[in-house]
Structure 1
Amino acid sequence: MKRSLLFCLVTLLLWVPLGWAAGPDAASALSGETEACYRKAEPGATLSVPADLLPHEDFRTEWWYVTGNLKGEDGKRYGYQFTIFRRGLACDADETGVSWSARHLYFAHLAISSESDKSFHTGYRMERQSFGLSGWHKEPLRIWVADVSFVWDAGQIHLETRHGEPGFSLTLEPVKPPVLQGEGGFSVKDPASGSASHYLTLSRLKTRGTLRLPGRVVEVTGVSWVDREWSTGSLGSDQSGWDWLALHLDDGRDLMVCRVRGTKAAPDYYFGSISLTDGSYRVLGAGEFTMVPYGVLNAPSGRVYPGRWTVSVPKEAIVLTVTPLFDNQEHGDGVTYWEGAVTARGKGASGRGYLEMTGY
């Protein structure tokens, strides 16, 4: 039973990183709930840190998403992904007082990419919010799934995993104020259906700590990216997936661009932002940048993804070629999508970052 439950729920991960559930909603089937009893993202909300790092349990889905590019004391380059998701199973008030009553599921996806040997190490956790298996505390803010935790304390983020590989013990210090994606943090994903999320970003965080890999622990320093997003909704019926890219540019700017792919009956939808060196930022509309795929990346699953990307932001004099650190950075823990470290080189900028490609 546990294995079949895990299989049903882990399939949600394909759509959770941008707040949507694809196909049959396994969590709804298990709980008997529909999305109607949850709040939906609306314009006009006031978003801030650290207040909005707390869970928003009146929304169906949310996540604490972290990626980064690091350099080890061994002189080698690493990328990492650390993500905690919450999925609501029931939104009515819990009056049972029973500790095993599962109102929410928390799950985590972990990965480390090692550039030198082109190895990709992944991990996964899932627990219900009962018996202390997963959940959150307010002060200091702590979100956890089994041995995996995301902590905000004294203006810093601490990422920890106590067991297994890949493992993390990292401290992240924001060096810029938050970016409110979309209109003041109201980020539209499907204009036709009105699907949207509340979405804020900490685009640049100084990072230090250790990575735990099979047979070794590496001291690292570098820079990270944090996305905080919550929503209730579904991917539009005329949308098939997305390509999301976040880059730390060497000159201190931080760029995010995303393409939500339409079907033959609907156009692609684009949104993005750029954070400038002084901490100010601009939201980028569809006409202010391009991201064009080319080439082929053949993944171990047999899926075929774009191999490279050209990204252009004319007002910022940026034209970049984005290339994976190496091709095999595809998650396959019950759900399959490509998420990995990339490099960016070209006119007007260079840097490193992370690329996510889903729905292929």
Structure 2
Amino acid sequence: MARMETVAYTPDSLESFEREWMLHRGCSEWWYCTGIVETEDGHRYTYQFTLVSMGAVPVVRPKLLQVALTDMVTGEHHYLQDVSLSGRKATLADDRLAYSDRFELIRDADGMRVRLRHKDFSIDVRLGWGKGAFWHCDNGKLYMGVEGDEKATTYYYSYPHMPTTGTLTFKDKAEPVTGKTWFDKQGGNYPLTARESQWEWMSLRFHDGEEMMLFAFPHMGYADGTYITADGRSERLNDYTLTTTRTITHAGKKWSAGWDLVVPGKKEERYTIAPIFDGNINLSYFEELCSVRNEAGEEVALAFVELLPGVLNEDNKGGSASLLKGVEF
């Protein structure tokens, strides 16, 4: 199994999804997955993992793993994170990512196999390629908060519609699950702690098989995104308005917890987005699974939302150590 290659960071001339899967010189980057699965009796869960390679320390590149499961019936949330300062706990190869015995991802011709292990649950699922991968924003290039700032960019692509089957073991009970998973690869050279780069991100997963990715920087009044049709066409989506309608306080920080979305000329154009539960802290960001409704009040999509604290909290840049209380290392 070949060790992962390190390639140059070329956000203006991204060559292929295969090349950008690799590590990039001078960049921090991550493989990020959010899935929605159900048991045979309709009990819904969300699962998530993030494997981060921190390019700010170029010699050893510390690695960070995050794993989470949320019971969307009861709201029960299970989370762990583990940091390897030397990077030795992580394995990065062309077709396999792993982190100790907590996480493994294997790629092959038919898709990915993902295994996660937490003291309270385990999940072993197969992800099909679905509609395939899509570049986001400007042919895969996203400015992180300040449009035109070449020192604050990322490359970004996703597999947004991966059919998912496998087994979830929770509370000593193993059950078959099915669903859909959204998989991201992203990274770049932007300053990790700059408030200008703090975002509110959404992946809208419409029941009709279409998707929208919204990457908003409300503090800077800037947003970008992507619209993906059911038949696999995509286009840049940066003419939309996302307005926070409700906020909550959690872990001493203020977070958005409701939005009005206006997307001129796309689908039904106007939507309301509201959390099914008020969300959970994972490290120094906040995650929510939301219901997306049209003006008639009908649920037309589910949305996974990721929020950073610097958006609504002026005293917060890259997060707060207080947010780590209760997290398993």
Query: Shared fold (TM-score greater than 0.5)?
Result: yes
Q: Which residue of 2 aligns with 1:16?
A: none
Tell me the CA shift for residue 173 of structure 1: 0.7
Cα 1:329–1:238 shift into 2, 3 Å? closer
CA contact (8 A) 2:62 2:87 kept: no
CA contact (8 A) 1:47 1:200 kept: no
- Paired with 1:108 and 1:130, the residues of 2 have a C-alpha distance of 11
Q: Which residue of 2 aligns with 1:124?
A: 81
Q: Which residue of 2 aligns with 1:32?
A: none
- Paired with 2:276 and 2:167, the residues of 1 have a C-alpha distance of 20
Tell me the CA shift for residue 304 of structure 1: 2.2
RMSD: 2.3
Select which of 68, 76, 86 maps to 2:43.
Answer: 76
- Paired with 2:254 and 2:75, the residues of 1 have a C-alpha distance of 19
Tell me the CA shift for residue 271 of structure 1: 0.4
Q: Which residue of 1 aligns with 2:32?
A: 65
Tell me the CA shift for residue 135 of structure 1: 2.0
Deviates further, 151-160 or 61-70:
151-160
* SS of residue paired to 2:20: helix
- Paired with 1:163 and 1:338, the residues of 2 have a C-alpha distance of 20
Tell me the CA shift for residue 329 of structure 1: 2.0
Tell me the CA shift for residue 298 of structure 1: 3.0
Q: How does 1:38-117 map to 2 (within 5 A)?
A: 40-48=9-17, 50-53=18-21, 55-88=22-55, 90-91=57-58, 103-117=60-74
Q: Which residue of 1 aligns with 2:235?
A: 282
Cα 1:238–1:119 shift into 2, 3 Å? closer
CA contact (8 A) 1:69 1:353 kept: no
Q: Which residue of 2 aligns with 1:321?
A: 272
Is it true that 1:144 corresponds to 2:94 in the alignment? no
CA contact (8 A) 1:123 1:165 kept: no
- Paired with 1:238 and 1:117, the residues of 2 have a C-alpha distance of 34
Tell me the CA shift for residue 228 of structure 1: 0.6
Cα 1:245–1:170 shift into 2, 3 Å? same
Select which of 178, 199, 204 maps to 1:247.
Answer: 204
CA contact (8 A) 2:204 2:303 kept: yes
* SS of residue paired to 2:218: strand
Structure 1, unmatched stretches of 5+, are 1-37, 93-102
Q: Which residue of 1 aligns with 2:322?
A: none
Q: Which residue of 2 aligns with 1:95?
A: none
Q: Which residue of 2 aligns with 1:18?
A: none
Q: Which residue of 2 aligns with 1:24?
A: none
- Paired with 1:186 and 1:130, the residues of 2 have a C-alpha distance of 27
CA contact (8 A) 1:257 1:273 kept: yes
Select which of 246, 258, 270 maps to 1:295.
Answer: 246
Cα 1:86–1:210 shift into 2, 3 Å? same
Tell me the CA shift for residue 236 of structure 1: 8.4
TM-score normalised per structure 1: 0.76
Q: How does 1:225-240 map to 2 (within 5 A)?
A: 225-234=182-191, 237=194, 239=196
Query: Match for 2:123: what amino acid?
Result: F
Cα 1:65–1:298 shift into 2, 3 Å? same
Tell me the CA shift for residue 45 of structure 1: 2.1
Q: Which residue of 2 aligns with 1:261?
A: 218
Query: Match for 1:150: what amino acid?
Result: L
Select which of 104, 107, 130 maps to 1:175.
Answer: 130
Query: Match for 1:244: what amino acid?
Result: W
- Paired with 1:82 and 1:185, the residues of 2 have a C-alpha distance of 22
Cα 1:204–1:177 shift into 2, 3 Å? same
- Paired with 1:336 and 1:45, the residues of 2 have a C-alpha distance of 30
TM-score normalised per structure 2: 0.83
Identity of aligned residues (%): 21
Tell me the CA shift for residue 240 of structure 1: 6.0
Tell me the CA shift for residue 305 of structure 1: 1.3
Query: Match for 1:330: what amino acid?
Result: I
CA contact (8 A) 1:239 1:260 kept: yes
- Paired with 2:253 and 2:69, the residues of 1 have a C-alpha distance of 21
CA contact (8 A) 1:78 1:113 kept: yes
- Paired with 1:355 and 1:318, the residues of 2 have a C-alpha distance of 19
Total equivalences in the alignment: 298
| Structure with greater proportional helix content | 1
Structure 2, unmatched stretches of 5+, are 1-6, 314-329
CA contact (8 A) 1:248 1:254 kept: yes
Tell me the CA shift for residue 182 of structure 1: 2.2
Deviations 1:116-169 (A, max 9, x none): 1111111212225665x212222xx11111121122122311111245234221
- Paired with 2:161 and 2:104, the residues of 1 have a C-alpha distance of 20
- Paired with 1:240 and 1:65, the residues of 2 have a C-alpha distance of 18
Deviates further, 148-157 or 247-256:
148-157
Q: Which residue of 2 aligns with 1:191?
A: 147
CA contact (8 A) 1:114 1:120 kept: yes
CA contact (8 A) 1:61 1:231 kept: yes
CA contact (8 A) 1:70 1:220 kept: yes
- Paired with 1:104 and 1:235, the residues of 2 have a C-alpha distance of 15
Query: Match for 1:104: what amino acid?
Result: R
Query: Match for 1:45: what amino acid?
Result: L
- Paired with 1:224 and 1:72, the residues of 2 have a C-alpha distance of 15
Q: Which residue of 2 aligns with 1:355?
A: 305
Deviations 1:286-307 (A, max 9, x none): xx211111122232x1322122
